[in-house]
Amino acid sequence: MIMREKPKNGEVLVIFSDSITRNRVAHIFKIARILLGLGRKPTILISRATVDAINDLIKDLPQNIKLLFLDSRKALASDAKGFLLKEWMLHLVQLFRLRNIVKKSDSVIVMGTLNLPAVIIARLHSKKVYAFAGGFAYLTQKAQSVDYRGRNVFKFIIAWITYLVEALVILLANYVIIESRSIRNHIPLYHVLQRILRSKVIDYGALFVDTQYFRPYIPVDKREEIVGYIGSLEHYRAVIELISAFRIIARLRAKTKFLVLGSGSLAGEINKIIGKDQILKSRIVLLGYIPHKDIPYYINQIKIFVFPTRSEGLPNTILEALASGCIVLATNVGGIPDIIKDDETGFIVRGELEPKNIAMHIISILSMPREKLIEISEKARTHVNYYFNFNSALSRWKRILRI
């Protein structure tokens, strides 16, 4: 007779390893809502967070969720220059102090694949450990090491150190949660140790889009000819190349406008490029951080949503754009090809991520018949509404946590 494990409905410890900014607060609300919906008792453990993010969490997170901050001031002070060793030692010391919390939890979800100490401590306490890989940091580091200025050797070395650390996390965790099937191809050591890793990889762990909140308030064919981007302003997102593509389009299409929402290390450089180009300056709106609750308004202004990333998991921003009726143009990386089928639910950038090529793709889409764009918009929105709504996510995570 086979004895089945009795389902548990106790505490789940969720550890967020990355620095939590206001842009990332939405991920905490989503995983918390899923766990509450499954009858679990979530404890959210945050190692580093900005003051604004902390205020948002304290104000809006449901009171039945335990929210713990670990030495935020010290973590923030070292955030700019500290990287792997300093960061892991911080996690190790903090989690050692809170080992009793780990003991009380039925299982531990580590959001991210760099927090090796968290995984080790949870395994030492015989807890079931899920490593949630929204993307892989080594890919982002590799993408950051190569930009329009050439290769940064130091960042390239860091990328391979990161790869080894993520490989250890993958090997030690009981389960590895990825958001879609294509991301399997980027799991460290997956092709080498496929027989070992195949059984522990869960490839349906996507969160959800609030499809009542993100929807087409303005039909795509009624929108102005606005090309937009929402996301971080970093090299791995090829935003300099995108702004340069906007400069080309501004000279070829008189009625096209541009909208960019986001913050990051390239914000100053982007402002300089725009400031020197009077044609583009008169046609572009560049905004910094926008509260998540205001994103539906801005995303409904965008007709063509461009996401030229070099490294990605399954971007929530793309899902929100599709749910809102935008036509999405994105790169063929990470989990993006699982949701963007070229010329069916959106468009894929073919060739190099350089300004002329990006501009050519955008102009080609803007020149398409109205009926074609409506068809693509509706097909993509139907897919997102069906697979990435809250109830679908709840069903998937019920299987993941084996309730």
Cα–Cα distance, 395 to 37 (Å, whole number): 10
220-387, which class in CATH?
alpha beta
Burial letters for 63-88: b for 16+ Cβ neighbours within 10 Å, e otherwise? eebebebbebeebeeeeeeeeeeebb
Condensed to tens digits (0 to 9), the pLDDT of residues 29-58 reads 999 999 999 999 899 988 777 777 777 888
pLDDT band, very low/low/confident/very high, at 147 (cuts 50, 70, 90): low
Q: What is the pLDDT of residues 315-364, one digit of tens each?
A: 999 999 999 999 999 999 999 999 999 999 999 999 999 999 999 999 99
Structure tokens at 300: 């409904």
Residues 42, 134, 384, 185: what is their CA dihedral angle, to the nearest 10 degrees?
-140
Whether this prediction's pTM lies above 0.85 is answered by yes
> Mean pLDDT across the stretch 128-157?
79
Tens-digit pLDDT profile for residues 56-90: 888 888 878 888 876 544 433 333 334 455 656 66
What's the one-letter identity of residue 317? T
* Distance from C-alpha of 305 to C-alpha of 293, rounded to nearest angstrom: 19
Q: Residue 213 half-sphere exposure, CB side, CA atoms within 13 Å?
A: 13
Q: What is the mean pLDDT of the chain?
A: 87
Q: Report pLDDT for 25.
A: 85
Q: Do domains 11-208+389-401 and 220-387 have the same CATH topology?
A: yes
Looking at the chain, the whole-number percentage of residues with pLDDT higher than 70 is 88
Which phi and psi angles does 353 have, rounded to 5°?
-85, 70
Q: What is the pLDDT of residue 169?
A: 95
3-state secondary structure of 15: strand
Report pLDDT for 2. Answer: 36
Please name the residue that has the structure tokens 């490593």.
Answer: 131
What average pLDDT score do residues 367-396 get? 96
Contact 205, 177 (CB under 8 A): yes
DSSP 196-263: HHGGGEE--------TTTSS-SS-GGGS-SEEEEES--SGGGTHHHHHHHHHHHHHH-TT-EEEEE--
Mean pLDDT of the region 120-127: 90
Give the separation between CA 203 and CA 185, rounded to whole angstroms.
11
Going from N- to C-terminal start, the domains of the chain cover 11-208+389-401, 220-387
- Using 50, 70 and 90 to split pLDDT, how confident is the model at 9? low
Domain 11-208+389-401 belongs to what topology? Rossmann fold (3.40.50)
Q: What pLDDT does residue 24 have?
A: 79
Q: Is the pLDDT of residue 403 over 70?
A: no
Instruction: State how far the Cα of 330 lies from the Cα of 349, in Å rounded to an integer.
Output: 6
pLDDT grade for 381, boundaries at 50, 70 and 90: very high
pLDDT exceeds cutoff 90 at 284: yes
The percentage of the chain sitting over the pLDDT mark of 90, rounded to a whole number, equals: 60
Cβ atoms of 176 and 194 closer than 8 Å = no
Q: What is the pLDDT of residue 90?
A: 63
Two tokens, residue 371? 């009926």
First to last CA, the chain: 21
